[in-house]
Homo-oligomer: A and B are copies of this chain.
């Protein structure tokens, strides 16, 4: 089973949920990331995800496996969009099924946190004033020392 996918098509959260149905599970937790109409005081019109797919899929699968192993959940999946997205489009979905809810909540949170920190995915926001911005880069450029930091785990 392919647990982590990158897609250029609209994500259907309901179809996604159905693939995780399991009669041994009493709990299902799903996180949806939606395209938001604002960021740091700017009106956002749309956004674009650039994804380095070979590594995103591989690292996404590693994160899913880590979550299943660490929290003992029955099943977990993730899907992330690439390309151009409009407001309220679904950017990412993570779902976890488990006999009990505590593990499902923790595993779902772990997967989305790690996905945002580790996958080679970049988000460019298009603003009302005509400007665009690679999210995260702005801050790194302004507030941190330039260049990679050898020895650090390099996570924002």
Contacts and interface: CB of A to CB of B under 8 A. Distances in A.
A103 interface: no
A36 B25 contact: yes
Contacts of A22: 34
Contacts of A104: 31
Interface stretch (A13-21, A63-71, A142-150): A13-21
A62 to B, nearest CB: 21
A28 B21 CA distance: 19
Contacts of A21: 34, 88
Given A13-B17, A24-B37, 12 more contacts: A21-B88, A22-B34, A23-B36, A23-B88, A24-B38, A28-B32, A28-B33, A31-B101, A34-B97, A36-B99, A101-B112, A105-B109
List 4 tightest A-B contacts by C-beta distance, closest first. Answer: A26-B36, A14-B14, A28-B32, A23-B37
